[in-house]
Amino acid sequence: MTDNTDVWGTTDVSSGKGASDENFPVGSLLISRALRPHVHAYYAYARVIDDIADCETLPPQDKVARLNAMEEVLHGQRTAINRPDAQSAARLRVSLMQTGVPFETATDLLIAFRDDSLGKDYANWSDLLHYCRYSANPVGRYLIGLHKESAEAFAASDALCTSLQILNHLQDCAQDLRRLKRCYIPSDMLRQHGLTNDALLEGRTSAALRRVFNTLLDGVDTLNRQAAILPRHIRSRRFRMECAAIVTLAERLTLRLRREDPLAGRVALRRTDAMHAAAAALKAWR
């Protein structure tokens, strides 16, 4: 064990984002009061490592070094540095040990964020799904493990989490490329329509780019259909309601991204979407 603090440096990596910036509920009131602190600990850790990967002032290798240090703190191999980012890993370590949720639900996220830090390209749909396997699916598996639910829920949960991640990529595609020089739209889809990444910076979606987006959304529709059975696999009534609401929000956001232009402004959920989600949650109560 080491207490070397050099890797942390002095650069603030906070993005300023919080739970209110997410499309979907983070530790909502549908999560039982006893479990909410654990969900918040997981979210705080995930927010920190995402911020490290997205930091515009850190060189790629410094980002990877910080992510590696977070993993060492998580495993108890490094003394927790007296910084909020390192402390988030230390708190999650305690939480995971208390709840018995596998550590992989936290460390798998680091695989994706290392790729983000190094600027990985996504050549095709399979590459994108592989990224989502590590960037998004561990979140659902964490919640399933926290609620002591069956592994039978994993496949539907993975489909839902992957759907949510791709929808987020579409919402932020222009900003990600402009600010982070990062593109999650598979390059083979762009080439098929005679486009490059620069098409995402034009301020409006061309007819050719709309076809690319619709191809991605066709894949998301398939994922949403696979995710629709998730509530059936959940025994906890409150968690089942949460899952039903999020499945509905994913479906509603998919529709909005088909109808609205993500280059002209961020396509976001609206009050009517929340009302549909609430109705789905109430139906899942039964």
The per-residue pLDDT for range 163-199, each reduced to its tens digit, is: 999 999 999 999 999 999 999 999 999 999 999 999 9
- 185 and 110 part of one domain: no
Mean pLDDT value across residues 258-269: 96
Mean pLDDT value across residues 230-241: 96
From 79, 97, 119, the end of a domain falls on 119
- 184 and 266 part of one domain: yes
Distance CA 106, CA 92 (A): 9
In a domain, 16, yes or no: no
| pTM exceeds 0.95, yes or no | no
pLDDT for 4: 47
Identify whether the C-beta of residue 240 lies closer than 8 Å to the C-beta of residue 220: no
- State the residue range of the domain holding 183: 121-286
* Confidence band of 8 (pLDDT split at 50, 70, 90): low
Residues forming beta bridges with residue 78, ordered by sequence position: 2
Distance CA 59, CA 226 (A): 39
Identify whether the C-beta of residue 163 lies closer than 8 Å to the C-beta of residue 250: yes
CA-to-CA dists, residue 283 to 143, 238, 286, angstroms: 21, 12, 6
Among 87, 247, 111, smallest CA distance to 167 is for 247
What are the pLDDT digits (tens) for 17-42? 554 455 555 556 788 899 999 999 99
The CATH number for 264's domain is 1.10.600.10
Distance CA 267, CA 286 (A): 32
- 171 and 272 part of one domain: yes
Among 24, 26, 11, 25, smallest CA distance to 85 is for 11
pLDDT for 7: 73
In a domain, 11, yes or no: no
In a domain, 184, yes or no: yes
What are the pLDDT digits (tens) for 194-230? 999 999 999 999 999 999 999 999 999 999 999 999 9
pLDDT for 183: 97
Q: How many residues does the chain have?
A: 286
pLDDT for 83: 79
Mean pLDDT of the chain: 92
Identify whether the C-beta of residue 226 lies closer than 8 Å to the C-beta of residue 210: no
Distance CA 67, CA 69 (A): 5
What are the pLDDT digits (tens) for 77-127? 887 677 778 899 999 999 999 999 999 999 999 999 999 999 999 999 999
Q: How many domains does the chain have?
A: 2
pLDDT for 110: 98
Distance CA 60, CA 82 (A): 23
In a domain, 17, yes or no: no
The label of the residue with tokens 């579409």 reads 170
In a domain, 7, yes or no: no
pLDDT at residue 245 tops 70: yes
pLDDT at residue 148 tops 80: yes
Residue 50 CA neighbour count, 13 Å, CB half:
14
CA-to-CA dists, residue 42 to 87, 90, 107, 230, 281, angstroms: 12, 11, 11, 21, 23
pLDDT for 20: 47
- 258 and 199 part of one domain: yes
